[in-house]
Structure 1
Amino acid sequence: MSGFPFDPTYGYSREALLRVGVPDEPDGFGEFWRGRYEDARRVETRPEVGALEEVRDGVRIHEVTFTSVGGVRLGGWLVRPAEGPVRRGFVIGHGYGGRDAPGPAVPLPLPGSAAILPCVRGMETRGRAPGTGTGTGTGIPADAPSHVLHGIRSRETYVLGDCVADLWCAASALRELLPESPAAPLAYLGESLGGGLGALALPWDDRFVCAALTVPTFGNHPLRLTLPCVGSGESVRAYHATHPEVTEVLPYFDAAAAATRIRVPVLVAAADADPSVPPPGQYAVHNGLREDLRTLHPLSAGHMEYAGEERERAQLAAALTEFAGAYM
């Protein structure tokens, strides 16, 4: 685990990681996010299913588009069983860099499942409106270091708030696309960026019955600002150095603070070493969850190649299947 100008464990043992604290939420935290959620639920998502792209692993994978807050039209993939009824649904977030295919999110954890895999605004490839070149028509840059700073001057304009809303609207779109299964339970799965956004989204949306967050970002911003990394957090650290007032905005987007409000079971796959998302921030998200609702799945590392990675990925997939099966 070398090759970086810093130790990707940041000097933390597993025991020390489990003691990482959670920042207090700022004044108006709940009111801010409940308002954002109510706005998102009022959106007419108008989902449209496009071309069939693949049939594999017992599912059919289609293009899909839907509308999110601000009238932004986003895309992604819709996954449905090739045969049989839909008994459950998943909203599956992605990491920074976006996604240009469903990738390892398919096969889904459980049979009889449907899923929507949205690209949040600004992200490759289907979070960018055709012909705009650099965003969704609202000037959102696609590269992670710039995307994470877009609108950061205020909590109302920060892009992460709209990205969370994109996940809520994706859930609405999925429900609309499953009229034959109106009571199907929903779960959220997200990794890295998708993990942090998921933690911010879950406290306010009672449509989700459980979630799994893998190497989640945005946990414990005060601590993150002290830790160098090679991920999007470094861009925020550099911005903070010349704009210290950003500490008035970041607390509203702290995934660890949000985790204290989550009231459904959550599996957190957190890494002991990670050069992109410092492990103390990942564990802060886990530590913020209510003790009786959290399940920890430790990983040796995240966002890097390491010995045993393939084996650990297989173990995580098995753990996700068992976890989701217990609550769906």
Structure 2
Amino acid sequence: MLTDLDLPALWEYRSSFQEPADFDDFWSGTLAEARGHELAPTLTPVETPLETVEVFDLTFAGFGGHPVRCWLRAPRQRSGPLPAVVQFHGYASGRGHPLDDLLWASAGFVHLVMDVRGQGGAYAGGGATPDPVGSGPSHPGFLTRGIEDPRDYVYRRVFTDAVRAVEAVRQSPLVDPGRVGVVGASQGGGIALAVAGLVPELGAAHFQAPFLCDVRRATRITGSGPYTELAGYLAARRDRVEQVFATLGYFDGIAFARRADAPAWFSAGLMDGVCPPSTAFGAFHAYTGAKQIRAWEYNGHDAGGSDDLAVVLPAFRDLLKHGR
């Protein structure tokens, strides 16, 4: 069943979200602080039975100089630097197994999958990057960790890590730094959208059912996690509602969309009860670069799944292999 607006209403919908006045100063200061630490990427080959793809364990210094782990995959047969795709994974997942996620490397790209710090305990393969920063009281899950102050909020660290991941892949001798794109689904789509708003000169971007967009609306119209973590937190802390949404103003995908200019593909399932489609359309309408969106009428949070990827992959090939 439809969980949100129908398609004609989605095309008309515009979010009322307004970011904080110091949004740009907050993020420029955060990234300047992170860049005070040497990026120091290290690339270690991983032995696998794969014949056409090489796998490397890449580590770099993220927020606070903390080590962030990634898988970097590349075609074995290559001549010279290649275009790269940086991918961010879904909520509570991790970078997974070295044999996972072979699509982009099989299509001829260098492919980096960043491990989201502190997550990765919910799925096979899991994650390998701890979050050494503590936080105050939170609802079970990750979404409310440090949420009463934007400087302490967990996604400040995650989004900073993600920007540094693009910087790390651009330093790799395997990669042409001028031909890098970002992709992600759900939480990964929200992270990719933040990166698109924070990193200049990206070649392409793909956001499937992006999380953390139009967040206040999302909490009011969905009864599914992870947004229910916010509702649970605020049900117990009734006097913190405005404080919490003031923090979230620095992390909402609408604000990043207003600052992004890479050619972008969005997708949404009209039956998505996790990330309601109006929140994806809110980000899409705010996006300042060239953009397309696909609404999958009878799909939920998969937002078209592999069929959606089949639309985007040739577009990435054209943009990243031949340049914008």
SS of the counterpart of 2:132? coil
Q: State the partner residue of 2:119.
A: 123
- C-alpha separation in 2, matches of 1:246 and 1:17: 27
Q: Does 1:167 align with 2:165?
A: no
Q: Does 1:75 align with 2:72?
A: no
Amino acid in the other structure paired with 1:264: A
1:203 to 197, 212, 222: 197
Contact 1:146–1:235 at 8 Å: present in 2 too? yes
Q: State the partner residue of 1:258.
A: 256
- C-alpha separation in 2, matches of 1:57 and 1:226: 49
- C-alpha separation in 1, matches of 2:86 and 2:192: 10
1:32-71 correspondence to structure 2 within 5 Å: 32-54=26-48, 56=50, 58-71=52-65
2:291 to 278, 281, 294: 294
Q: State the partner residue of 1:320.
A: 312
Query: Number of matched residues?
Result: 306
Contact 2:82–2:176 at 8 Å: present in 1 too? no
Q: Does 1:231 align with 2:220?
A: no
Q: 1:89 to 1:11 in 2, by over 3 A?
A: closer
Following TM superposition, the consecutive aligned residue runs of length 4 or more in structure 1 with deviations greater than 6 angstroms are none
Contact 2:86–2:183 at 8 Å: present in 1 too? yes
Q: Does 1:14 align with 2:7?
A: yes
1:134-145 correspondence to structure 2 within 5 Å: 136-139=131-134, 145=140
Contact 1:87–1:184 at 8 Å: present in 2 too? no
Amino acid in the other structure paired with 1:25: E
SS of the counterpart of 1:108? helix
Q: 1:250 to 1:314 in 2, by over 3 A?
A: closer
Q: State the partner residue of 1:6.
A: none
SS of the counterpart of 2:12? coil
Contact 1:194–1:216 at 8 Å: present in 2 too? yes
Contact 2:266–2:293 at 8 Å: present in 1 too? yes
CA drift at 1:324:
0.7
- C-alpha separation in 2, matches of 1:144 and 1:96: 15
Contact 2:268–2:301 at 8 Å: present in 1 too? no
- C-alpha separation in 1, matches of 2:98 and 2:295: 25
Contact 2:4–2:277 at 8 Å: present in 1 too? no
Q: State the partner residue of 1:193.
A: 187
Contact 1:148–1:236 at 8 Å: present in 2 too? yes
TM-score (ref. length: structure 1): 0.84
- C-alpha separation in 2, matches of 1:174 and 1:144: 34
Pairwise CA RMSD:
2.5
2:103 to 99, 102, 107: 107
Amino acid in the other structure paired with 1:156: R
1:9-62 per-position Cα deviation (integer Å, ceiling 9, x unaligned): 334111112222221222111221222233334432222223424354832122
Q: State the partner residue of 2:89.
A: 94
Q: 1:55 to 1:288 in 2, by over 3 A?
A: farther
SS of the counterpart of 2:314? helix
Contact 1:212–1:267 at 8 Å: present in 2 too? yes
1:80-138 per-position Cα deviation (integer Å, ceiling 9, x unaligned): 11111332011100000222236763210774311211111111133434xxxxxx333
TM-score (ref. length: structure 2): 0.85
Contact 1:223–1:281 at 8 Å: present in 2 too? yes
- C-alpha separation in 1, matches of 2:273 and 2:166: 31
* Structure 2 spans left out of the alignment, 5+ residues: 121-125
Contact 1:116–1:174 at 8 Å: present in 2 too? yes
Q: State the partner residue of 2:123.
A: none
- C-alpha separation in 2, matches of 1:104 and 1:52: 13
Q: State the partner residue of 2:277.
A: 279
1:135-170 per-position Cα deviation (integer Å, ceiling 9, x unaligned): x333479x9952111111111111111101111111
CA drift at 1:250:
1.4
- C-alpha separation in 2, matches of 1:81 and 1:109: 6
SS of the counterpart of 2:250? helix
1:24 to 8, 15, 18: 18
Q: Does 1:216 align with 2:210?
A: yes
- C-alpha separation in 2, matches of 1:168 and 1:35: 13
Contact 1:110–1:321 at 8 Å: present in 2 too? no
Q: 1:10 to 1:182 in 2, by over 3 A?
A: closer
Q: Percent identity?
A: 22
CA drift at 1:181:
4.1
Contact 1:41–1:168 at 8 Å: present in 2 too? no
